[in-house]
Amino acid sequence: MKHVIKAILLIGAMASGMTAFATLPARALVEIDVNKGNVEPLPIAITDFLSGDAMGAEIAGIVAADLQRSGLFAPIDKGAFIEKISNPDVAPRFEDWKVINAQALVTGRVSHEADGRLKAEFRLWDTFAGQQLAGEQFFANKANSRRIAHIIADAIYERLTGEKGYFDTRVVFIDESGAKTARKKRLAIMDQDGANVRYLSDGRSMAMTPRFSPTRQEITYMSYESGQPQVYLLQIETGQRELVGNFPGMTFAPRFSPDGQKVIMSLLRDDGNSNIFSMDLRSRTTTRLTNSSAIDTSPSYSPDGSKVVFTSDRGGQPQIYIMGADGSGQTRVSFGGGSYSTPVWSPRGDLIAFTKQSGGQFQIGVMKTDGSGERILSTGFQQEGPTWAPNGRVVMFFRDQPGGGGPKLYSVDLTGRNEQAIPTSGFASDPAWSPLLD
């Protein structure tokens, strides 16, 4: 379905007849500084998009929900609206929106083309400056109306923060069901807000640690089909699957390189040591990157592919280390109390997310790439497995509450103040965030 969207989804300036109010080329008067330590959410009014059916209200509702979950926006209750928008081609009565402290306003329209496609248009207004900030239109088939809403939310987020959004993305995860002693674990995928869940495996064999390719709609994951963990590649849209290789011993935590041409993983050999290896997916050549008597695991590439972060207990307990992509210059960077695991490099390249176990608690945190500036974002009974949103502003992870029966997914932003539960129908673990969709 997604490849169809590439051909029919148009993103551009407003069409002829929709350009009466030019967008501001200069810096907006209303904006959000995401680099502040504590950001006050921006009051924003999002009106139902005009339409001949319920689609306009549905799209506006999804846009509002996306922006609210980011923690940066505070959508105003529709009951407070004074003006009823009857024509989104006409400038709103700005005074009516300033009275209710709507610093930004979103209006729009949804219509159906003769060929059956859905057309969605929106405008973003700075109510206090009395100016239009953005205006775009999109086409897609009706089945992809949620994607249109996410893309509109991304456009608003970027215009008001200066950074890319992350709403038009998906999350692959492990859906868990059944008794705790006999869990059925299958691959699943959903939109970042929990909608459109689809299962990618049938659960007859255990699946683990799915990870997205940064360049394609493809994942790598582990499966116990043969009785031993093996690494597979799976094309999400076609369902085509490929065995990466049969490795002796146990295989753990495969991840892609930034160019999608390699997979890096840890392999447990007969001597009981776990070391890190990379494999070229074209030649199937395997390169050993660490050679220690310790347990080296959980490797993750830097965004430019030049370095790898990983966990090792060579110092006595699991800590975070960094090395060159060729295995050179292995250096410890974490020195806090407790044990560190599952380090993941931010897409921005500035931070490393990690799981930390200390004082009987599990913590999700971030640190700078030299180990400084450690900051804990979330603490819980048992939580782990951070994965980054593509803009590097939000981390998703899974948590198993005491007495809760099983794990659930959560997200938290870099301030640690905006934690959100991600709705799933059952238990869920091992999330992996996709890049922005094409």
Q: Out of 28-42, 61-75, 89-103, 397-411, pick the least confident.
A: 28-42
The position carrying tokens 């495996």 is: 201
Q: Over range 20-43, report the average pLDDT.
A: 60
CA-to-CA distance for 438 and 217, rounded, in angstroms? 10
CA-to-CA distance for 7 and 425, rounded, in angstroms? 32
> How would residue 212 be classed by pLDDT, with cut points 50, 70 and 90?
very high
3-class SS at 111? strand
| pLDDT value for 9 | 28
Element (H, E) at 399: strand 394-400
> How would residue 10 be classed by pLDDT, with cut points 50, 70 and 90?
very low
Q: Which of 429, 431, 377, 378 is nearest to 407 (CA)?
A: 429
Backbone angles phi and psi of 147, in degrees to 5: -65, -40
Q: In sequence order, what are the residues at sequence separation of 6 or more whose Cβ sits closer than 8 angstroms to the Cβ of residue 400?
A: 381, 382, 383, 406, 407, 408
Q: Out of 17-21, 234-238, 402-406, pick the least confident.
A: 17-21
Spell out the alpha helix ranges (H) of 222-281. none
| pLDDT value for 29 | 59
Token duo for residue 221: 């994951």
108 has pLDDT over 50: yes
Q: Over range 87-97, report the average pLDDT.
A: 96
| pLDDT value for 1 | 36
> How would residue 37 be classed by pLDDT, with cut points 50, 70 and 90?
low
Q: In sequence order, what are the residues at sequence separation of 6 or more whose Cβ sits closer than 8 angstroms to the Cβ of residue 127?
A: 30, 45, 92, 94, 97, 98, 102, 103, 104, 105
Token duo for residue 63: 């846009």
| pLDDT value for 22 | 37
Element (H, E) at 332: strand 331-332
| Tens digit of each residue's pLDDT (9 = 90 or more) over 251-275 | 677 899 999 999 999 988 766 689 9
How does strand 241-245 pair with strand 230-235? antiparallel
Q: Which of 344, 347, 391 is nearest to 365 (CA)?
A: 344
**R_g of the chain computed on alpha carbons:** 23
Q: In sequence order, what are the residues at sequence separation of 6 or more whose Cβ sits closer than 8 angstroms to the Cβ of residue 215?
A: 256, 259, 260, 435
| pLDDT value for 249 | 62
CA-to-CA distance for 364 and 71, rounded, in angstroms? 18
Q: Bigger pLDDT: 22 or 171?
A: 171
Q: Over range 221-236, report the average pLDDT.
A: 85
20 has pLDDT over 70: no
Q: Print burial letters for 221-239: b (CB count within 10 Å at least 16), e (below 16).
A: bbbeeeeebbbbbbebeee
> How would residue 438 be classed by pLDDT, with cut points 50, 70 and 90?
confident
| pLDDT value for 231 | 87
Token duo for residue 171: 């999350």
372 has pLDDT over 80: yes
Q: Over range 357-374, report the average pLDDT.
A: 95
| Tens digit of each residue's pLDDT (9 = 90 or more) over 382-403 | 999 999 999 999 999 999 988 7
CA-to-CA distance for 200 and 19, rounded, in angstroms? 44
> How would residue 35 be classed by pLDDT, with cut points 50, 70 and 90?
low
> How would residue 36 be classed by pLDDT, with cut points 50, 70 and 90?
low
27 has pLDDT over 60: no
Amino acid at 373: G
| pLDDT value for 431 | 97
Burial class (CB in 10 A: 0-12, 13-18, 19+), 23: middle
Q: Over range 138-160, report the average pLDDT.
A: 94
